[in-house]
Amino acid sequence: MSYRLGDLILLEIDEKSKNEILIEYPNTIGSEYIIQYYDKKSHFNKGNVLFNILINKMKEFNYPPVIKYIIVVHLRLGDVVCGDDFYEKEKRPNDLSYYKHIKSQFPDIKFYLIANCFFPKNYNSESKSESIKESNKYLSDIIKILDATHINGDADFDLCCAIQSKLFIQGKGMYSRLIVELRNIFNMTSILNNIDN
């Protein structure tokens, strides 16, 4: 599953996109958020809606037993890895040296990665192939550097793992920013990127 959960909550996407989520991704955090927040907007605070949805959603998943003792790292992959548009260049993944530094700060803690390739609709297929190849290489490099496990889940599972982890290391983009904001609601610590996401 790949839907723009960060965009939905932080940017308030258009009606067409909301309807697509309700149809294509029923029973997800995104669809539940649309039903509870957008349809009854005047009655609810966004933070309270998300908190209640997440509390219920987190009960559904079978997490790694060590989830509360690990560091979860988000990697933004896909279109931003090779793309030439301004926003793609702006959201390029962090340099490998950044993760080497992170590993040196936490040498004895287990790392999990949440990382999936995302591409907008109608993305150029030739560019997509190259971006997937480069994304896979980058992911492989980070796994080796951090001695990490890749959590290959869907957007909801990844989000819930990131919220419950001991520490979250922010990637780039709205999804990662959403995780940081939700961890703040749960009084959890994050390491922030030094860029404006």
For residue 176, give the amino acid letter.
S
CA torsion through residues 173, 179, 185, 190, sign: negative
Task: State pLDDT tens for residues 113-164.
Answer: 998 887 777 777 677 888 888 889 999 999 999 999 998 778 899 999 999 9
Q: Where are the chain's structural domains? A: 5-57, 67-191
Instruction: Tell me what the pLDDT averaged over the chain comes to.
Output: 85
- Domain 67-191 adopts which CATH fold? Rossmann fold (3.40.50)
pLDDT at 179: 93
CB 119 within 8 A of CB 131: yes
pLDDT at 186: 85
Model confidence at 42: pLDDT above 70: no
pLDDT at 2: 56
* Residue 12: both structure tokens together: 């308030």
